Amino acid sequence: MPDIKLALLGFGNVGRALARLLLIKRDELRRRYQINWQVVGITTLRHGGAIDPGGLDLEQALTLAEAGKDLSPLSLQPATIDGEIFVRLCGADILFENTPVNYQTGQPAISHIRTAIESGMHVITANKGPVVHAYQELTELARSRKVRFFFESAVMDGTPIFSMWRETLPAADLLAFRGVLNSTTNLILTLMEEEKSFDEAVVYTQEIGIAETDPSGDIQGWDAAVKVAALVTVLMRVPIKPAQVTREGIEGLTLKDVKDALAAGRRWKLVCQATRVDDGVHASVGLEQVEPSDSLYNVIGTSSSITFESDVLGDLTITEANPGPQTTAYGLLADFINAVHSSP
């Protein structure tokens, strides 16, 4: 079994968690899946890039990046932080595209992925942007090149959602879904129930690293809307854009609203939902007060949950507790194994 050559475009929290998981699972991948791998390229805006067709020392790359140092000493050739050039030069079999999400256009990730697929690479990403802005094009391109474009970690981290529908629910028709899909806003709501102000709660989510410096994408419901659009596009096979999702954020909610709901035995949740209708799909993100009997009532803090209504099963609910970069990394690893084992 020849080594499978991996390239990591993006080496932030998720990219590094993937690197650590690859090292932890190296023996198991060899033993159980007959997969040997080496990382031939890493690039990142913050730590520069490194390419070595003979295989980089991944532990050393982790050490350098975690010490805030540049990766270029590991490189056999002049390093690049240009994603496009990196993809062309890296010589990998599989590209992990982990650049930051761009809600509006999905770029530059879409270009990176397109170039990689055209070069015959499987592409695996946790990036929602390319899924909502270019799912059909990239999937068809991948099919024509006999490679895979997988993105399990784009929604609910490594929890199997896309792969569950793809692999384990054949011939099932998704009629509707409802869930809590944005960790940051859900944690903010939980903190407000613990009497923290909205602003204090936002600062806390930034301090623990789950919200961006500009948290508006989460708070205004954009991140949730992008996830709804991704699920509708892929699982309901109705391509919609985030702007087509009726959207409400949590910014209007006051501490009093939260207290009043609690006093009445209810909790506010930012609920994502979509329902198939005659002429397409109705999709929305909005605040709801949920009762204790609602499956979303116990989804607190950074947990998330989704209930699927289909033509063949009763309501099927998947709930994920305690996500983190390492669970996102696991979704990428699972996609890697499945891409290698399912390729045509």
Q: Binding residues for its own copies, per CB under 8 A?
A: 21, 25, 28-29, 32-33, 152, 157-160, 163-164, 167-172, 292-293, 295, 297-298, 303, 312-324, 326-327, 330, 333-334, 337-338, 341
The residue (of 222 and 336) whose beta carbon lies closer to its own copies is 336
Token pair, residue 27, equals 């023996």
Q: CA nearest 88: which of 127, 49, 61?
A: 49
Token pair, residue 104, equals 């509006």
Residue 83 CB, shortest distance to its own copies, in Å, is: 28
Tell me the β-bridge partners of 9: 43, 97
Residue 135 CB, shortest distance to its own copies, in Å, is: 18
Residue 171 CB, shortest distance to its own copies, in Å, is: 5
Looking only at the bridges linking them, the beta strands covering 304-310 and 316-320 are: antiparallel
Q: Is 227 a catalytic residue?
A: yes
Q: CA nearest 185: which of 201, 196, 171?
A: 201
User: Cα 222–174–142 angle (5° rounding)?
Assistant: 70
> Dihedral sign, CA of 178, 179, 182, 184?
positive
* C-alpha to C-alpha distance for 202 and 189, rounded to whole angstroms: 10
Residue 72 CB, shortest distance to its own copies, in Å, is: 32
The residue (of 219 and 231) whose beta carbon lies closer to its own copies is 231
Alpha helix ranges (H) inside the chain: 13-24, 26-33, 58-66, 83-90, 109-118, 128-144, 162-163, 183-193, 198-207, 216-219, 222-235, 255-263, 325-342
Q: List the end-to-end C-alpha distance of the chain, in Å, as a whole number.
A: 17
The residue (of 67 and 312) whose beta carbon lies closer to its own copies is 312
The residue (of 127 and 303) whose beta carbon lies closer to its own copies is 303
Q: Which of 227, 256, 259, 269 is catalytic?
A: 227
Token pair, residue 170, equals 């054949």
**Stated length of the chain:** 344
Residue 28 CB, shortest distance to its own copies, in Å, is: 5
The residue (of 77 and 342) whose beta carbon lies closer to its own copies is 342
Burial 180-198 (b: 16+ CB within 10 A, else e): bbbbbbbbbbbbbbeebeb
The residue (of 72 and 163) whose beta carbon lies closer to its own copies is 163
Tell me the β-bridge partners of 180: 305
Token pair, residue 136, equals 């059909």
Residue 29 CB, shortest distance to its own copies, in Å, is: 6
Q: Rounded to 10 degrees, what is the CA torsion of 299, 305, 310, 312?
A: -90
Q: What residues are labeled active site?
A: 227
